Structure 1
Amino acid sequence: MALTVEMKTRTLRTAFVGGGFMAAVHSRAARAAGATIAGVASSTAEGAERAATAIGADRSYASVDDLLAADVDVVHICTPNSTHAEFALAALAAGKHVVCEKPLATGLGQALLLADRAEAGSLVATVPFAYRFHPMVREARARVAAGRLGRILTIQGHYLQDWLSSSSDSDWRVDARLGGPSRAFADIGSHLVDLVEFVAGERITRLEAMTRTVHAEREGIANVATEDLAALLVELDGGAVGTLLVSQVAPGRKNSLVIELSGDLESLRFDQESPETVWLGRTDRSSVLHRDASTLSPDAARLSLVPSGHPMGYQDAFNAFVSDTYRAIAGEFPEGLPTFRDGARAVRLTEAVLASAAGGGWQDVSAEAVAVPA
């Protein structure tokens, strides 16, 4: 008689540092992936209690140290930018897997140190470049990789928002002490350059940028030191050239993230506000490709969870990002997972944008940056 042994799989226990909007997004994704929301810590014990109630956590912790000492497997860091590196380093030192909001750090040295520490500890450490997880982004990437566009010649893209259009609009991100030296580019431009490099399968090798601070004063901040917009000229390692525009002061644009790649055979365009389609253009015709798992590349079909005509959106993409992170923790190797190394890449590009805008001209970002000794 054969003996059947059932292995009981442990339910992943997640914890959150921070309790704002992004913590809510992360917690919905964690719950969708089947994890237990074990606890939350915030800047105060009272804030942690409110956050635990808001996201449905089992309990609150009086401090981050208490949370890291608890029985949790993965820590999601959803706090102001200036605290990311400190909390992520502490979580890695405690042997926890980490999901850290971007920017991974406000300086390249810290970002590279974080990537090195995660790799040295064999810990899964990811940054939510969640737009990678739209099925039609994966389809666009697959078409580029298959040579459907031919040789990429030009790239254009933008990420436009309007939530800081008025001088009366303000937020902690505006304050460089909390948000870091870059705002618009670090906050949303990082998504744009990540998406360009991810879909193109090539890296930006050099860039030149200008930035503008439209409102020198905002509600509660007398001297605004962070940029409202940035414009970039870029070159990719395959020789393509492109223009990228980032703005948080574009009235009427709520979350307009668009990339368009043109090759010598075909062009394609993805618009995050219409994520169910990719526009395709040739000299003799143009068409719109709709999300339909039966016609998509395998990776795009994998992320297409509902039938065509049933719209998928931002939370679905974020859910897929967290699900793939948890799969990696379980020992799988999901394709396209954005790690701390990708987060450090975004910090490097951000520093290059600021250096160029400060009068540094063209910035070479082709070679891999190396971590400074700890």
Structure 2
Amino acid sequence: MAAVHTRAARSARARLVGALTSTPEGSRRAAAALGHERGYGSLEELLADDAVDVVHVCTPNALHAEQVLAAVGAGKHVVCEKPLATSPEEASAVVDAADAAGVVVAVPFVYRFHPMVREARARVRSGEVGRVLTVAGSYLQDWMLSPEDDDWRVDPERGGPSRAFADIGSHLVDLLETVTGDRVSSLAATLSTVHPHRAQHRDVATEDAAAVVVRTAGGAVGTLLVSQVAPGRKNRLHLEVAGSAESLAFDQEDPERLWVGRRSGSLLVPRDADQLAPDAARLCAVPAGHPQGYQDAFDAFVADAHAAARGAAPEALPLAVDGARAVDLTAAVLASHRSGGWVDVPAPRTAPPAPTASNAAPTPAGAAS
């Protein structure tokens, strides 16, 4: 992920000050490979560098909260890969620390930054969709299909207690709540570990798939399916929202169009800035008819995160409160699976104020961790 973050930071015209890995030699190699100015020998050295304004945290999940808290304590703005933390308590600590320090902590729920997601959101907000009745979503991948497929995320000590849901289900629920403006208030979940043993891990304790039934605060009901063992599906994130007047469907593997369903006269809306709501149009990086995809969405996210570090307030930027929301939802999914019943999901935390002028970065300079 450091390469994706680096490309996005470069696109945002950030100065790439340096990189940090688990060893000084690894840091030097990463800096050379990614085009950063230097490699750091330790996190303390990185945080002591006044040239660094924004720290991008791309380390294993279990390290996120500790490293973000250290960066925030040093007065740095942060872009932290999700999950923000592996427990609700750690996530709350990060939210409180960022609020107290007046710095930005952004979490890359980057699918929000597809223009057609923003178009869907605008249509719900304008009332065109009517009252949201049902939601149906899935996030399907196949990269863990075989028992020979393995990854550090399988280990709860490094990846946290949830794998498939925390890794990709969090994106699906974030998309649902971003588009509808509603929140999941309760859920019932069941998890499945398809392979009890993998190439480098015995007695696997994290899930390959999750099925979740949800209720929202606004009264909608829905179903969500998350799987990393779905043959042929590489990154199929799909959300369909049915309202009392219209339905909307977005498919991340076909992100250039939004399906608008009507009882008579359904249509496909193309990614054409001249036809879209202002917040969707601003995210159109290339002219209509030219494909735009994942890296473009990531670039837009980082550009907005760095703008927030300078004191701006970009629309729908996912912050620490959103990262903590995903951690709460993951905890609820795990609790429901254990109990076999419905679980209430805590209400979202209140978003913190914009960064103070003294902490705003005039020209963000980044360091990958």
The answer (yes or no) to whether the contact 2:189–2:337 under 8 Å persists in 1 is yes
Match of 2:190 in 1: 210
Q: Counterparts in 2 of 1:206-285, with a 5 A limit? A: 206-285=186-265
| Letter of the structure 2 residue corresponding to residue 233 of structure 1 | V
TM-score (norm: length of structure 1):
0.92
Deviations 1:278-324, CA, capped at 9 Å, x for gaps = 00111112110001111110000111121100111000000000000
Match of 2:319 in 1: 339
The answer (yes or no) to whether the contact 1:29–1:322 under 8 Å persists in 2 is yes
Match of 1:350 among 314, 319, 330: 330
| Letter of the structure 2 residue corresponding to residue 93 of structure 1 | G
Match of 2:359 in 1: none
The answer (yes or no) to whether the contact 1:155–1:243 under 8 Å persists in 2 is yes
Deviations 1:80-131, CA, capped at 9 Å, x for gaps = 0000011000000111000000000000000011011101111011000000
Secondary structure of 2:207 counterpart: coil
Match of 2:138 in 1: 158
| Letter of the structure 1 residue corresponding to residue 132 of structure 2 | I
The answer (yes or no) to whether the contact 1:126–1:340 under 8 Å persists in 2 is yes
- Structure 1 distance, partners of 2:88, 2:300, is 28
Count of aligned pairs: 349
2:10 maps to 1:31: yes
- Structure 1 distance, partners of 2:217, 2:98, is 28
Q: Counterparts in 2 of 1:83-94, with a 5 A limit? A: 83-94=63-74
Match of 1:6 in 2: none
2:78 maps to 1:67: no
Secondary structure of 1:70 counterpart: coil
Q: CA RMSD in A?
A: 1.0
2:101 maps to 1:121: yes
- Structure 1 distance, partners of 2:117, 2:347, is 26
| Letter of the structure 2 residue corresponding to residue 266 of structure 1 | E
- Structure 1 distance, partners of 2:222, 2:327, is 20
Match of 2:88 among 98, 105, 108: 108
List runs of 5+ in structure 1 lacking aligned partners.
1-21
Structure 1 residue 367, shift from structure 2 partner: 2.8
- Structure 1 distance, partners of 2:187, 2:279, is 31
2:156 maps to 1:176: yes
Match of 1:144 among 124, 134, 147: 124
The answer (yes or no) to whether the contact 1:233–1:242 under 8 Å persists in 2 is yes
Match of 1:46 among 21, 25, 31: 25
The answer (yes or no) to whether the contact 1:276–1:290 under 8 Å persists in 2 is yes
| Letter of the structure 2 residue corresponding to residue 58 of structure 1 | E
Structure 1 residue 331, shift from structure 2 partner: 1.1
- Structure 1 distance, partners of 2:348, 2:329, is 11
Secondary structure of 1:303 counterpart: coil
Q: Counterparts in 2 of 1:182-193, with a 5 A limit? A: 182-193=162-173
**Amino-acid identity (%):** 62
Match of 1:200 in 2: 180
- Structure 1 distance, partners of 2:309, 2:348, is 26
- Structure 1 distance, partners of 2:310, 2:215, is 38
| Letter of the structure 1 residue corresponding to residue 328 of structure 2 | R
Match of 1:56 among 7, 32, 35: 35
2:58 maps to 1:78: yes
Secondary structure of 1:230 counterpart: strand
2:275 maps to 1:311: no
Q: Could you say which structure has the greater relative contact order, defined with CA pairs below 8 angstroms and 6 or more residues apart? A: 2
- Structure 2 distance, partners of 1:230, 1:360, is 13
Displaced runs of 4 or more, over 6 A: none
The answer (yes or no) to whether the contact 2:82–2:323 under 8 Å persists in 1 is yes
| Letter of the structure 1 residue corresponding to residue 55 of structure 2 | V
- Structure 2 distance, partners of 1:126, 1:241, is 29
Secondary structure of 2:215 counterpart: strand
The answer (yes or no) to whether the contact 1:204–1:366 under 8 Å persists in 2 is no
